[in-house]
């Protein structure tokens, strides 16, 4: 089936919306977007088509185009809370924070029990320098979904900005209990420990990062700084060399991916309940 879809797409043969979604799921993002553009041309009055096109554009990093598609989705379906979530995220990624917050407010109004909307609203409130409101929004997300590692991480980031170190550490710990190996939380917890001279703790977290192919450079760079703080110059230089090698290796992998024509989807927050009659693409892992 996947080979048939690719052949049909290459020949310009008409594909159904489900076929577009299949292409997206298989990582053929450019073909999926082209397929959805054709669907939008044929069915421009259907909010679900614009919603899916917006997701496909966002997955390729075209957030302004994604926002344009989601605006059309909500214009055709004003109560489409999922599209407001996707619009808010696309606007945030394109640094349109004021409009993005408006979309997030619509999302929580339409989806009051969806923790992801409250988490995203918290991010946009923080972007708009409203820290107290952001904290309340993150905490509401955690009331709705206590096992939400992303919201715990975001709350930790906010606590750290407010120099509430112990609360930040507790939030990172919660995120990592729920999602072991959560790289961003490992980095944040390690950096917080390093800032507070908890060198053993920082070293453990940075070492854990070196076990991930995508996060080796951050791990080695952190280990270099831990060694330097301990006055171990030779060890720091050794970690520095590994850091440079890991950065070069990561760049080579990215180049190889481009040569193979592969694109990694950038996941949206999962769990959006789709309204009747609106099909949605998978929004990524939790």
Q: For every one of its 286 residues, what pLDDT tens digit does the chain have, with 9 covering 90 and above?
A: 343 333 333 334 344 556 777 777 777 878 877 887 888 788 878 888 888 888 888 888 899 999 999 999 999 999 999 999 999 999 999 999 999 999 999 999 999 999 999 999 999 999 999 999 999 999 999 999 999 999 999 999 999 999 999 999 999 999 999 999 899 999 999 999 999 999 999 999 999 999 987 899 999 999 999 999 999 999 999 999 999 998 887 766 545 444 444 433 333 444 555 554 454 443 333 3
Helices 17-25 and 29-42 meet at what angle, rounded to 10? 160
Structure tokens at 257: 């991916």
The overall pTM is greater than 0.85: no
DSSP per-residue letters across 189-235: HHHHHHHTT-HHHHHHHHHHHTTSTTTHHHHHHHHHHHHHHTT-HHH
């Amino acid at each position: 089936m996947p080979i048939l879809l690719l052949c049909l797409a290459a020949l310009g043969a008409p594909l159904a919306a489900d076929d577009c979604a299949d292409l997206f799921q298989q990582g053929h993002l450019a073909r999926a977007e082209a397929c959805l553009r054709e669907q939008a041309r044929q069915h421009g009055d259907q909010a679900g088509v614009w919603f899916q096109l917006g997701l496909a554009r966002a997955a390729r990093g075209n957030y302004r185009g994604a926002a344009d598609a989601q605006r059309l989705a909500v214009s055709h379906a004003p109560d489409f809370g999922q599209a407001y979530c996707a619009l808010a995220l696309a606007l945030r990624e394109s640094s349109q924070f004021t409009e993005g917050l408006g979309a997030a407010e619509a999302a929580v109004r339409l989806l009051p029990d969806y923790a992801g909307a409250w988490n995203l609203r918290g991010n946009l409130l923080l972007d708009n320098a409203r820290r107290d409101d952001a904290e309340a929004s993150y905490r509401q997300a955690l009331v709705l979904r206590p096992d939400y590692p992303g919201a715990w991480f975001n709350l930790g980031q906010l606590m750290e900005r407010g120099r509430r170190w112990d609360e930040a550490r507790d939030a990172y710990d919660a995120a990592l209990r729920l999602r072991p190996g959560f790289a961003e939380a490992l980095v944040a917890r390690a950096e917080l420990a390093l800032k507070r001279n908890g060198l053993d703790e920082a070293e453990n977290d940075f070492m854990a990062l070196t076990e991930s192919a995508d996060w080796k450079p951050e791990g080695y760079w952190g280990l270099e700084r831990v060694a330097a703080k301990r006055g171990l110059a030779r060890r720091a230089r050794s970690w520095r060399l590994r850091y440079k090698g890991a950065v070069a290796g990561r760049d080579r992998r990215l180049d190889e991916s481009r040569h193979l024509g592969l694109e990694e989807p950038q996941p949206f927050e999962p769990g959006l309940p789709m309204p009747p009659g609106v099909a949605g693409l998978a929004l990524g892992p939790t």
